[in-house]
Amino acid sequence: MADGEYRPATLDEVRRLRAELNLQKKKLVFTNGCFDLLHAGHVRYLKQARALGDALVVAVNSDASVRALKGPTRPIQSQNDRAEILSALRSVDKVIVFDDQRVTKLIEDIRPHIYAKGGDYTIESLNEEEHEALEFVRADIKILPLVQGRSTTATVNRLLGNTAPEKEIVVASPPGGLRLGVLGSGKGSNFAAIISAIKRGELNAAVAVTISDVQNSGVMKLAESAGVPAVFVDPGPEPNKLAKPAQKEICDHLKKHHVDVVVLAGFMRVLKSPVLSTFKDRIVNVHPSLLPKFKGLDAPQQAIDEGEIESGCTVHLVNEELDGGRILEQATVPIHIRDTAEKLHERIKEQEHKLLPKVLNEWRERGLPVWSEGKK
Ligand code: GAR
């Protein structure tokens, strides 16, 4: 190592620090993140995290893990540089670099007394495996408020000369970009993944409108806070079906917002004409199984019940047949021995969040007509 060159902490060093603090009845605070471009929001957050205990250890995602999480254009700075910058902060005692997308293993190895996370999370939305590990090591989980108006994305946009507020980036029609109409019934994590990909510049698109059959659903709330028009359409009395007036109303909203591509992101009712005929070969669905296996509801549970060793997700075109249109791309996910449907579904969703924006962007790059010539 050259003179003065920085070296992140090793796991052994962090574990020793934890042991020393424990002896002195002091508390180790632990947090993690990419910290690609350090901004005042990070600095304030880390200061607050440090104030929760007696020493702060920050785990920084390795370059490979940032790429896997945020796409090929990130990180902007190398893992060593990011770690070195963080370690210069008065609030930070040690910085360790980790290679996974999750910190489950580090939580188990370090056993922090306190775990701090930024306010874009709630205790419920923490990753299930990480949450379990935190409970197992009896760490106190603290969600700290986000510092408004400071983000790496906003900084990158300013550097690129894109001064439009983030809300406008999401809803404005970019040149050559797709205008998406997103339909969802649930939490909206796929919707959030689309928005993030747009903000990161990895999906040249705008979300023109979001439509939900469930009032106050997660997807509606996310759309509202992203500044995307969010419409509730009353689905009618039958479960999983959409009454005729609802089919028409949805079609009218999509037309009114000049939608190019309709994205079913966890939309749990069956679409028919006029949407199918008006947007023929321009409707994509994401489904949590390796189609044609396990169509319909509870696909992760179906895969477990069948004793499969792997499952995954599929992005496909939508036609009259339930989950039956042309398959565009799939990603596989292993099924673990002790998997529950919830755990498996969560891991499948992590893949969906990458696959769906990627397929949409590829579609944009190839141009709509190519797929329209498809057989199905
Ligand atoms: C996703 O896993 C999606 O594949 C599934 O609903 C979930 C929605 O999650 N869709 C279906 O099962 C459709 N047959 P989200 O609301 O968090 O995006």
> Could you tell me how far CA 278 lies from the centroid of its own chain?
30
Q: Tell me the fold of 165-375.
A: Rossmann fold (3.40.50)
Give the confidence band of 194 by pLDDT, cuts at 50, 70, 90.
very high
Among 298, 225, 208, CA closest to 260:
208
Active site residue 42: no
Q: Exactly one of 257, 287, 316, 345 is catalytic; which is it?
A: 287
How far apart CA 338 and CA 342 sit, in angstroms, is 11
267 Cα to the center of ligand 1, angstroms: 7
Domain assignments of the chain as residue spans, ordered by start = 11-144, 165-375
DSSP codes joined into one string, 107-155: HHHH--SEEEEETT--TTTS-HHHHHHHHHTTPEEEEEPP-TT--HHHH
Q: Which is nearest to 270 in space by CA: 291, 244, 304?
A: 244
Of 10, 34, 29, nearest to 82 by C-alpha is 34
Atom of ligand 1 nearest to the CA of 184: 16
Bridge partners, residue 230, by sequence: 210
Q: Could you tell me which CATH class the domain 11-144 is placed in?
A: alpha beta
What are the angstrom distances between the C-alpha of 75 and each of 33, 156, 161, 290?
12, 12, 19, 31
**Span 246-264, pLDDT tens digits:** 999 999 999 988 899 999 9
Q: Is the CB of 265 under 6 A from ligand 1?
A: yes
Beta carbon of 347 within 6 Å of any ligand 1 atom = no
**Once rounded to an integer, what is the mean pLDDT over residues 153-158?**
70
Q: What is the pLDDT of residue 226?
A: 86
Q: What Å distances lie between residue 63 and 34, 67, 71, 157, CA to CA?
A: 9, 6, 11, 21
Looking at per-residue pLDDT, the higher value among 238 and 370 belongs to 238
Helix (H) or strand (E) holding 180: strand 178-184
The mean pLDDT of the chain is 89
φ and ψ at 268, to 5 degrees? -100, 25
**pLDDT at site 2:** 53
SS3 call for 244:
helix
pLDDT at 173 over 90: no
Query: Over 80: is that where the pLDDT of 64 sits?
Result: yes
Whose Cα sits closest to atom 10 in ligand 1? 266
Give the type of residue at 165: P
Weakest-pLDDT range from 57-61, 125-129, 185-189, 306-310: 125-129
Q: Is the dihedral of CA 159, 63, 31, 226 positive or negative?
A: positive
Q: What is the largest CA-CA distance in the chain?
A: 73
CA 27 / ligand 1 centre spacing (Å): 40
* Single-letter amino acid code for the residue at 268: M
Q: Do domains 11-144 and 165-375 have the same CATH topology?
A: yes
* Ligand 1 in reach of 350 Cβ (< 6 A): no
Which ranges constitute the DSSP H helices of the chain?
11-23, 40-51, 63-70, 79-87, 104-110, 128-136, 152-159, 166-171, 189-199, 218-226, 244-256, 275-278, 299-305, 341-366, 368-372
